Every structure is written in C-alpha cells, then in structure tokens.
A and B are shown apart, each in its own frame.
Chain A
C-alpha cells in the first residue's frame, strides 16, 4: 500500500476524550501540550524567540531608557560636556511658557479630532452597516485614507483647502462665504490640521464601530422594529448602548493617533501660523532638529510617552473591563 495509513497516528493522540466541561478540557489540552510533541524542547523556544526579543528590546525598550537617561543631563552649549542635572529639564519645561503652550495646543488638537471624528465615524459606520448589495464596495474604499502617509494626506489637504483654487473654498464661496484663508488664520489652521488628521484615521474608527454594529443582534433590532422604534430612535436606544465598548475604544484610538501626529501637522502648517498648531510633536521636532537641544528633546519625548502611557492604560483597562477579545 502506498497510501499513508493514519490509524496509528490517532492512537498517538490518545483515546477519544470523554465529555468534560470546556474549561477542564482546555486545561487537559494544555497539560497534554506540556508532555507530548513539544514538552522536552529545552532551549528551542528561546532560540526561536530570542532574535525577536533582542530586537524589540534594543529598538523599543532601550531607546526609551536611553532618552530618560539623557534627559537627566544638560550641556552649556551645543555639543558641550554633559552635566548631570537631575530633573531640572522637566522643571524647566513646566516653567517654559512655550512648552505649556504646546501642551495646550495638543489638548485642543486632540479634543477637536475627537469632536469631529467620533460623530462622523458613527454616522458613517451606521450608514455602512445598512449598505447592502452593490453598495458594499464602499466598505473596501473606506480604508483607503488609512493607507496613505501623513505627508501625502497633508499635501492633499493643502490642495483642497487652498485659498484660491481649493475645492472647499469653491463650495464655501457658493454658499456666500468668500475667501477663507485656511493657513494664515490661527483658528482655521488648527481646524485644517484636525480635519486632515481625522481624514487619515477615520477608517479605523469606522471599521471598529462597524464591527460593533455587525454584532448587534438582528433579532433585537427586529424586536425594536415591531415595538415601533425605527430609524433614529432605534439607533439611539438600541444600537448605540450596545456598541459603547467600541465607541470608547475608538475614542482612545483617535486620541492616541492625534497625540503622536507629527507628519500631518508639520507638512500642513509647519506648526504655524504664529505657533497656532505647534503641538507637542512639533515642539519635539523643533527642540531636536531645529534648536538641537538634545537633552530638552529627550525630556519632551518622556513627557509625550507619559501622556501616551496614560492613554494606553485607559485602553487596556477598558478593553479588559469590556472583555473585548477582538478590540
């Protein structure tokens, strides 16, 4: 016989399992795992995972430790000898009005992105969840802005928000609002940055919320339908409460992206006009690559990472609380 006889292999896997509760069965599987196939592995798992662990440690963990270390020093002049100053960099930052301005701008920027992004994402997700038949292709297109780099996004927005020929101004002019100078008015420049940021990250929000909406029980919606709750009422009273976990996670995700956004703002407004869009990432860029104040830049890095850690902590706690396997 040339065919492979599989019967002996079944024997290896052991006799058919008796009916046991699911959790118990999982545990027995795990135990079998330890003894069979791979239990006597010795050094193998370390050899297999070693390179990745070393790489991640060297490229993600070490730089942060290094940044923290460097931020404890200062130099009298660029390239001068490094002197240990403890946390002086941080106290200096707290007393620096320019830095506090950047913190304020960041808060405004993140808030604006949320205020625009979350409702927009919710409306689009609702619409997509009802899009059937040929309209389903819209789902595939939705993700496209997410595939585009922040710089290219900024270029696109520089063009469509252009004062003279931008499409947005043409529409506004049609409505009677003439000559909107998006990039020389501080408030509008901030708004333009928010819009570009929302544009590039909205796909994530939409797909996350859409995922939530798809899991909303159709029977529940039908029941609401029968009870006379249709349209807005159904959405507000039935669907939205059910996707609160996704909404919260989408909010955190958007704030995370906005907090660490450099390319979009730098290429769109360069932090201007008159520092209107000089958020923390822009301040970091200027300290490191324009003013060449490395020690100060490292302190800003740590501050940004702290803000970010707060968000991550929130994300983690909430995703655990909502027990979201998929998000």
Chain B
C-alpha cells in the first residue's frame, strides 16, 4: 500500500522525485563517507607513516610513501623490550582467555541451572565491572601486589585481568546456557551422564560461539589493558605492548615517528586479524560486553 503511494507520487512528478532521491542519497552518502574517513583514515595515515623514512614524514605528504622503507619496523624490532613485550602480551592474552573460560563456564552453569543461595550474586556480577573500572584497581592492586611480592610476574597480570573480565564472562555464558534446552540434559541424565559429561558433551559444544566470543573478549582486554600493567609491572622484561609503546612515546618523543607508527600498527594488526576471523561470533559479544 505504502509502496504504491510512494511510487505513484514518483510517477506523477518524475523530475522532482529524481531530485529528491538524489538529495536523499547525498544526505546518507556524505555522513557515510565521513564515517569511513573518520574510522579508517587515521589508521591509514599511521600505516603510511610507518613505511616512510624519518625525513619523508614531513617532506613527503603522500599517502603512498615515495621511498617505502621498513626502517620503522626495524627500529621497533631492534628496540630493547619489544620482543619480550610481544611475547608477554601473547602469553598474558591467551592465559587470560583460557583462565576466564575455565572459571566462567562452571560458574555460569551453576547460575543458569541451579537454584541456590547466592544465586542473586549474579546481579551483582553484572554491576561490578561498571562500579569498579580498571582505573580504580590500578593503585590498590599495585600496593597489594607489592605486599605479596607479586609484581612483575606474568601470572599476576593473567590473574588480575581474569578478575576484571570474569563478571562479564559469567554473565554472557549464563545467557547462552539458558538457551541450551534443558530437555537435552534431562535426557542425558536419564541415560546416566554425570554432571561433568553433561557440561562437557552437551552444553559446551552448543555454547561454542559463546566460548569464542568470551575468549576473544578476554584476549582483547589483556592485549589492550594499560592501567593495570602500569601498576603491576616495573621491570623491562615483564611489560606488555601498550606499556612498552607508552614508554616509547615518552622516550623518543617526536623523534622517531615511523617507529612509533610501526609499533602502533604491530600492536593493532594481530588483534584485527583475530577479529576479522571471528567477526560473526564476536560483534554481538563485544557490544553487549561493552554495554553491560
């Protein structure tokens, strides 16, 4: 009905309608173009600078470097601390993802399937990360870690990051587990499956997308986190990438622009790669993660 009315109107006055359609296209097209530029252009510029020589950064304004070079990347790779920071970031990222899933799956299962005292802690779980951001934990955790002699251990970072991701992970898993039909488990129960095998062979395979989502979420948190690394590490060998990049901006100032660009690119690329691979699982998880 509506379609015909609109179409009729168009048929009645073709030139006017065409102008209108073009206007509409422009009204949508300009913001879309602006969005694309806003999102991509800063990264493209950084990528471009990372392949320029130090002198060309100001001498050659082109997006495509006139004299492409890998000097920026070389200076980063040769930088003391980069390689260990990269390895640390990987270890801490994977460790956080693994520990988060291992702890969150059973807890979420309990919250989703059992009625027990303490079940209402789940609501608190959803609010805690909002109430207590990483910034608020930076200094207290630093003092606690100093007291416990836990500064500079990768395990400390893994545990701390897991603690901050865990509430969200549990919350997301509960949502997924509640969608797994109870009848499946009841059937398995009748067949004599234990609690462990029900989780392992029925719930976990069905919740596979959730595991991927939460793993990536935890990895992202560990890969990008700066505040807690600032508090919990003090020696060169134990830092992760964001802290190392921060130190580079402090020590080289505006001297080694291609180097800083290359460093930034190298911290971004691995995660973008992971993200693109798993995009269809991750987007909803990431956004709900941010919003909860």
Contacts and interface: CB of A to CB of B under 8 A. Distances in A.
Interface of A: 6, 8-9, 12-13, 30, 33-34, 36-39, 41, 44-46, 48-49, 51-53, 55-56, 58-64, 66-67, 70, 120, 123-124, 126-128, 130-131, 135, 138, 140-152, 154-160, 162, 164-165, 167, 170, 199, 202, 204, 207-208, 211, 219, 222-223, 225-226, 230-231, 249, 253, 256, 260, 262-263, 266-267, 270, 281, 284-285, 288-289, 294, 297-298, 301, 304-305, 308-309, 312, 315-316, 326-327
Nearest to B27: A231
A231 B166 contact: no
Contacts of A44: 110, 114, 195
Interface string B105-128: 011011101111011010001011
Contacts of A204: 287, 290-291
Interface residues of B, number: 107
Contact of A141 (B36, B137, B286, B288): B36
B267 interface: yes
Name the residue among A151, A199, A222 with the largest chain B CB count within 10 angstroms. A151
B273 to A, nearest CB: 11
B44 to A, nearest CB: 9
B131 A284 contact: no
Given A13-B186, A308-B136, A155 B245 contact: yes
Contact of A55 (B28, B162, B264, B283): B162
B260 interface: yes
A68 B254 CA distance: 40
Given A131-B32, A204-B290, A284 B140 contact: no
B139 A288 contact: yes
Given A62-B144, A66-B143, 13 more contacts: A49-B110, A55-B159, A56-B167, A60-B129, A60-B132, A64-B132, A135-B32, A147-B275, A151-B226, A160-B46, A262-B227, A298-B140, A316-B127
Contacts of B32: 127-128, 131, 135, 138
Interface in B15-42: 20, 23-24, 27-28, 31-32, 34-36, 38-42
A142 B160 CA distance: 30
B77 interface: no
Contacts of B272: 144, 147
Contact of A49 (B111, B136, B287): B111
Given A36-B186, A127-B35, A159 B226 contact: no
Given A262-B135, A312-B127, A9 B187 contact: yes
A124 B186 CA distance: 48
Contacts of B223: 149
Interface of B: 2, 5-6, 20, 23-24, 27-28, 31-32, 34-36, 38-43, 45-46, 49, 57-58, 61, 103-104, 106-107, 109-111, 113-116, 118-119, 121, 125, 127-144, 159-160, 162-164, 166-167, 170, 182-183, 185-187, 189-190, 195, 220, 223-227, 230-231, 241-243, 245-246, 249-250, 254, 257, 260-261, 263-264, 267-268, 271-272, 275, 279, 283, 286-288, 290-291
B58 A164 contact: yes
B176 to A, nearest CB: 15
Contacts of A304: 135-136
B79 to A, nearest CB: 14
Contact of A60 (B164, B182, B250, B283): B164
B60 to A, nearest CB: 9
15 contacts: A13-B186, A37-B186, A37-B189, A48-B109, A48-B114, A55-B163, A59-B163, A142-B39, A150-B242, A155-B263, A159-B45, A202-B38, A204-B290, A301-B138, A308-B131
Contacts of A327: 291
A127 B263 contact: no
Given A59-B141, A158-B260, A207-B287, A150 B136 contact: no
A70 B147 CA distance: 13
Interface centre among A130, A231, A263, A266 (most CB of B within 10 A): A263
Contact of A52 (B20, B31, B130, B170): B170
Contacts of B110: 44-46, 48-49
B145 to A, nearest CB: 10
A49 B110 CA distance: 6
A197 B127 CA distance: 23
Given A37-B185, A151-B245, A141 B40 contact: yes
B257 A159 contact: yes
Contact of B182 (A37, A162, A219): A37
Nearest to A58: B163
A165 B135 contact: no
A128 B35 contact: yes
Contacts of B291: 204, 208, 249, 253, 327
Contacts of A151: 226, 242-243, 245-246, 249, 267
Contact of B115 (A33, A148, A165, A219): A33
Given A263-B246, A267-B249, A148 B139 contact: no
A155 B35 contact: no
A82 B165 CA distance: 33
Among A61, A63, A289, A301, residue most surrounded by chain B Cβ atoms (within 10 Å): A63
